[in-house]
Amino acid sequence: MEVMSIICILAGLFFLIVAAIGVIRLPDVFSRSHAVSLTDSLGAFLVLVGVALHEGLSPSMLKIIAVLALLYIQNPVIAHATVRAALRAGLKPWKKEAS
């Protein structure tokens, strides 16, 4: 169990780092928001699952599950709001140059 939780947390950290690299490397708001959505879809999920496994069956585990549910409900809403605001403010999405 303990080993599983460590593996989960490490895998989650990997995705969080990849997302951070993505935010730096990608060219504009729109594509960067894809990298950010990577953090909550797998990064935070795996870290929280790891913590839940570490806690075992207890009230803390239920609270972590509640946090996960809220995360999955709220994050798409926030990501959508950000991207829509950028689009309405007139930002032009970055395009690959035709070669």
Contacts of other proteins in 16-55 (CB under 8 A): 18-19, 21-22, 25-26, 28, 30-31, 33-35, 37-38, 41-42
Of 31 and 54, nearer to other proteins (C-beta) is 31
Q: Which amino acid is at 91?
A: L
Of 6 and 21, nearer to other proteins (C-beta) is 21
Q: Which residues of 66-81 are buried (b: 16+ CB within 10 A; e: fewer)?
A: eebeeeeeebeeeeee
Quickly count: other Cβ atoms within 10 Å of residue 98's Cβ: 4
For the record, the structure tokens of 66 come out as 């509640």
From candidates 3, 59, 89, 90, binder to other proteins by CB under 8 A:
59
Chain residues binding other proteins by CB under 8 A are 15, 18-19, 21-22, 25-26, 28, 30-31, 33-35, 37-38, 41-42, 59, 62-63, 66, 72-73, 75-77, 79-80, 83-84, 87, 93-96
